[in-house]
Structure 1
Amino acid sequence: MLVAAGGVVFSGWFTSLGTGVFDGLGSREPLTVAYVSIDDDGPDLALRERVTAPHDRAILLGRPDAAQEESFMERYRAARVGSMVVVAVLSGNRAGLRIADVRPRVLKREPVSDGALLRVTHAGEAGTIEVAADLDERVPRFVPVKGRKTPYFQVKQIDLVRDERVTLAMTLTACEAFYEFEFVATVVSGGRTEQVVIRRPGGLPFRLTGPARKYRSVYGENPLGGWRPTSPPAPAKRGC
């Protein structure tokens, strides 16, 4: 069974995704997606476009409420830069089932985001990560972070009984492009194979972008709230 990630704290207006059952994942499904979160001590954020509209600049530079911030980030398709950690808690809904595979499924691939870079202040190190996948690969698949590079689910599966839970800690990386993606879990139960899709609340995809060589604008976190213009980082090297 995949080991649960311990000691990871998730908070913050961009990354705290909350709890609950996702759209379409009711008791008739073999699994319930009980919780999904993105590590809030992750890399910087990149926006697809520059922020020029007065209303949006007021949100970016001010101290808006959580709903305004969330709407702003969705409009500009904010994405983590280079890597991200997604934690998903899955709960079994049947007497016995096997998770035979979990993998990322890319929905969109576009040039890297260079509209604006939001440089995040990091509070510490991320917790232990169990599996990782590179979205730049033709067919992304999870492998153990340490040791062998054999796809994890080629040699191991996860068996659950009703109401039993498992925590998947998944690291995603990207260098070459901007990606919107979801996760697909292949579940075997009662002699049938079914698929369960894992997304952010509201059916929203995850987003990750490779670093841009140059950003059209750069902001740092303001201790008083919001963001403020700052100096750009060193130019990104080819291949991250």
Structure 2
Amino acid sequence: MTNGKFRQLLTIVLVLSTVSYAAYWDGGAGTTSWNDAANWDPDGVPTPDTDLELGAEPAQEIVVSANASSSRIDLGYENDYDVNFTVDGATLTTGWFVNASKKVDATVNITNGGTLDTAYNRLYISNYGTGVINVYDGTVKNLNTEYGIFMCGKPAGEATINLYDGEIIANGIETGNQWTVNIGSGELKLNGDHRTFMNTYSDNFNPIQGMTSIQVDYDSQGDLTTVTAVPEPATLTLLGIGGLSLFRRKRKN
């Protein structure tokens, strides 16, 4: 490892461990809505420059159903309380998004055309705990030019992406010890040529929802790698889209 790369990784560790949060979710309004001011401590809907920690209360359900923003969001607290976080038909823009930041289970759901946009900063599917991101219908976007999406920030982290529909757009993927990407009708779009990466980590990608194969397509003109799941080749022929190059044949039940 070069000294420059070591310094970059050390910086990430220090930043993750020295965050000073400006607001916490306490559920004081008795609802699941992000936009209820009384759900926060101190009371007030977060502003774009606010660092947030969510997960201090048991059985925490949090729903973003109107456009919202913050500087940083960490899902997970120093306890055993799990977090279920949903972006429903709205756009949540944040600098950093660290899922399962502590040793908890944290699930993020993207529904009804919702968008989680971490812009040019960092997105962690998991840090210390078990992190899951379910994209049912919508978009997850991370365009950090230095790093891709971090699957696992720490060796103990376990990360899963379920891409049921919609899309994930990123400049790449940073791997970890335990991580999986399951693809149904959605698309994973990676800027640049990631065919070598996909070959190296093929066992981490699985077709779901009746699909049987993972397909990797690189567009040299647009410099874009698109990863999708497809049905049986015979079905593709019937659909009139035969001739696709299949990455591998594997089905996850």
Shorter-chain TM band? under 0.3
Between 1 and 2, higher relative CO (CA 8 Å, sep ≥ 6) is seen in 1
**When the two structures are superposed, what TM-score results if normalisation uses the length of structure 1?**
0.23
Is the strand fraction higher in 1 or 2? 2
